[in-house]
Structure 1
Amino acid sequence: MAVRITLMVLRVVVLLALILGLLMWFGVGGALVPVHMLLGILVVLSLWVLGGFAFTIKGGVGIGIGAIVLGLIVLLFGLNQRTILVGDLHWLIQVIHLLLGLSAAGMGEAIAGRYKRLNVATQSAQQQ
């Protein structure tokens, strides 16, 4: 149940962060940067919680470590992106930032899917 709730939080927060990020990218909603940053922090925290759940499943240590590392990369990159490659090529940094955020969402989905599959397999094995 906790994995499902965390995944739903991740999905909603990623969607809101994506919408705000695109608005800022197109020059609208620049005052919403702190909200976007808060949403990004919530994305990372949700990913880390799901990564913690990954450590509890068989074979989940690798993806759990991956979630922690990716979350740290997303966090550090997001907090520092305004100072990276400032100028005409800054759009590259924005694209990388977008891809990192989407990869965090994808990793969260992967962890939740693996968790669900292993729980279903464990429950059906216990019933036999």
Structure 2
Amino acid sequence: MVIMTARILQIIVGLAGLCALVLGLVIWIANIDLTDIHMLFGLLVTLGLLVMSIIALTARGLRIWGLVGVVYAVILLIFGESQSNILAGHLHWLIQALHTLIGIGAIVLTGFLGARYRTLKRGEAKPEASSQALY
């Protein structure tokens, strides 16, 4: 059941991340105010990463990555909410680029955690084939 949840979270975060990325580029390049919708998709990515990280914390072999994911989700939320006030002026594009990279990193980290979790759990369910030695 949790394996399916991990896969569903990967899909949701991937789609929400794609929407947030496209909307962010539209906001950045075309100056069309779609910030509220962009923030909603960003929040979905952040919550998805947080839930996936909590799932990873329950799996042996992924606990450190789960902790990294929780910290990353908190940083993502804080940076996403405050990025419009950082380095205002003609150099703000640096913050926008960093914001984009951090968002892409969250999508990638969620995908990594989900894939690794599913691999670990499927490996636990299979019997040991290496115990049969060929002589």
Q: 1:55 Cα deviation (Å)?
A: 1.2
Q: 2:13 aligns with which of 10, 15, 22?
A: 10
Unpaired runs of at least 5, structure 1: none
Q: 1:126 Cα deviation (Å)?
A: 7.0
2:83 matched residue in structure 1:
81
Give the Cα–Cα distance (whole angstroms) in 1 for the partners of residues 128 and 12 of structure 2.
Answer: 30
Mean alpha-carbon deviation: is it higher for 96-105 or for 20-29? 20-29
| CA 119–105 in structure 1, closer or farther in 2 if over 3 Å, else same | same
Secondary structure of 1:36's partner?
Answer: helix
TM-align CA RMSD = 1.5
Match of 1:120, as an amino acid? R
| Pair 1:98 & 2:118 matched | no
Unpaired runs of at least 5, structure 2: none
Taking every aligned residue pair, what percent have the same amino acid on both sides?
A: 36
Question: Any runs of at least 4 consecutive aligned residues in structure 1 with deviations exceeding 6 A, and if so which?
Answer: none
Question: 1:102-125 deviations in whole A, cap 9, x for unaligned?
Answer: 010111011011111111211113
1:20 matched residue in structure 2:
23
Secondary structure of 1:125's partner?
Answer: coil
Match of 2:13, as an amino acid? L
Give the Cα–Cα distance (whole angstroms) in 1 for the partners of residues 117 and 69 of structure 2.
Answer: 14
Give the Cα–Cα distance (whole angstroms) in 1 for the partners of residues 39 and 112 of structure 2.
Answer: 24
Aligned length: 127
With the length of structure 2 as denominator, give the TM-score of the two structures: 0.89
With the length of structure 1 as denominator, give the TM-score of the two structures: 0.94
Secondary structure of 1:106's partner?
Answer: helix
Secondary structure of 2:60's partner?
Answer: coil
2:45 matched residue in structure 1:
43
Give the Cα–Cα distance (whole angstroms) in 2 for the partners of residues 41 and 116 of structure 1.
Answer: 24
Match of 1:77, as an amino acid? F
Give the Cα–Cα distance (whole angstroms) in 2 for the partners of residues 16 and 126 of structure 1.
Answer: 42
Give the Cα–Cα distance (whole angstroms) in 2 for the partners of residues 79 and 93 of structure 1.
Answer: 12
Secondary structure of 2:61's partner?
Answer: coil
